[in-house]
Amino acid sequence: MRSFLSLDLTPDLRSTLVTLQKRLLPFDVKLVEPENLHFTIKFLGDIDETTARDVSNQLTILLERYPSFDTDIRGVGVFPHLSAPRVVWVGSPGLCYLYAAVETAVSDHFSPNLAVIPHVTLARARSSRDHAALREFIETHRESVFGSMTVREVKLMKSIITPQGPVYEDISVFPLMLSHGH
């Protein structure tokens, strides 16, 4: 099953990002459906039931001791790089510690992919037609702040590809330890 580790967005954050997506409409991009917007912590690719179970066990051990936390959502970027943008995303520098901990926890099964940081995919470029204008948009919003959220759980999700686009389903939910003040 095609799977990934993710964080849900709050309704407020989702609507802010949908507004931001509308500003990408002049470019030759395909927007991610609003209901499919989420933070990808790590893309796992096609895994079998055994690997899913092992990953779930590792994450349960890690995350039940990992305190919930607040993080800012900020900065627009692209993968793979600005000269050839394929994916437009919004990031959160505050997720780097959670990301590093998750990478370590699942390192028996997956090699680290340090090029792909935690992100919300907003759109995918269809062609290189508008790259110069798109680069300008990215540069303008490189440090923009879009809100903040409290991270309380991580999800192991599966992606089912349909003709209408991907449909996401929860496989497992890993609550973080409640920190003081939350």
Read off the amino acid at residue 101.
A
Identify which of 182, 87, 72 has the alpha carbon closest to the alpha carbon of residue 134: 87
Q: End-to-end CA distance of the chain: give it in Å, rounded.
A: 34
- Catalytic annotation, pick one of 81, 109, 119, 141: 119
Is 180 a catalytic site residue? no
For 140-177, letters b (16+ CB in 10 Å) and e give ebeeeebbebebeebbbbbbeeeeeeeeeeebbebebe
- Catalytic annotation, pick one of 38, 109, 131, 141: 38
Detail the DSSP E strand segments found in the chain. 2-7, 29-31, 39-46, 69-74, 76-81, 84-91, 119-125, 145-151, 153-162, 165-175
User: Is the peptide bond preceding residue 80 cis, with omega within 30 degrees of 0?
Assistant: yes
Identify which of 12, 68, 95, 73 has the alpha carbon closest to the alpha carbon of residue 181: 68
Is 182 a catalytic site residue? no
Helix (H, G, I), strand (E, B) or coil at 13: helix
| Residues acting as catalytic residues | 38, 119
